[in-house]
Amino acid sequence: MSLRERLKELGWDGKALLTPNQVAALLEVGRPAVEDLTRRGLLRVVRMGKKSYITLASLEELLEGAVPRRRAVWLTLRLLERLGARVELATHPGGYTARALGEEGRGLTPEEAVLALADRLAGEVEREGGDL
């Protein structure tokens, strides 16, 4: 059974944010286990007032075994640092821009901007058929 089918079975209303209790029920674990996953950065939390919600996207990433976004961003920055590249992050009215090695990536969050930059740099390497 897919995650979305299981969610519908539990009365999910189609929103992209889940309560920690909903995530615990889906994973069939206690709430402390969910809190541990959020502390370790494996589930992204959005806070609205005093309430916390977990993004459906981060839950899907966790269940699919994908590299968590934070980890991917960290790896990208470490690789660019090893190449001697300086990453500049700037804000603009629509979000963030990350620049390095003559390329730039844009996103709504700093993480999205860095990952977009990594995509641009990877595409540049493929076009040139070589290394950075």
Domain boundaries, the chain: 3-64, 69-128
Q: What is the pLDDT of residues 39-66, one digit of tens each?
A: 888 888 988 899 999 988 888 888 877 6
pLDDT exceeding 90 applies to what percent of the chain? 27
Determine the pLDDT at residue 89. 93
pLDDT at 71 exceeding the cut of 90:
no
10 vs 56: CA distance, rounded Å: 14
Could you tell me which of 9, 8, 35 has the C-alpha nearest to residue 21? 35
69 vs 75: CA distance, rounded Å: 10
pLDDT at 97 exceeding the cut of 90:
yes
Q: Which fold has domain 69-128?
A: Double Stranded RNA Binding Domain (3.30.160)
120 vs 19: CA distance, rounded Å: 35
pLDDT band at 100 (very low <50, low <70, confident <90, very high): very high
Could you tell me which of 50, 52, 24 has the C-alpha nearest to residue 37? 24
Query: CATH top-level class for 3-64?
Result: mainly alpha
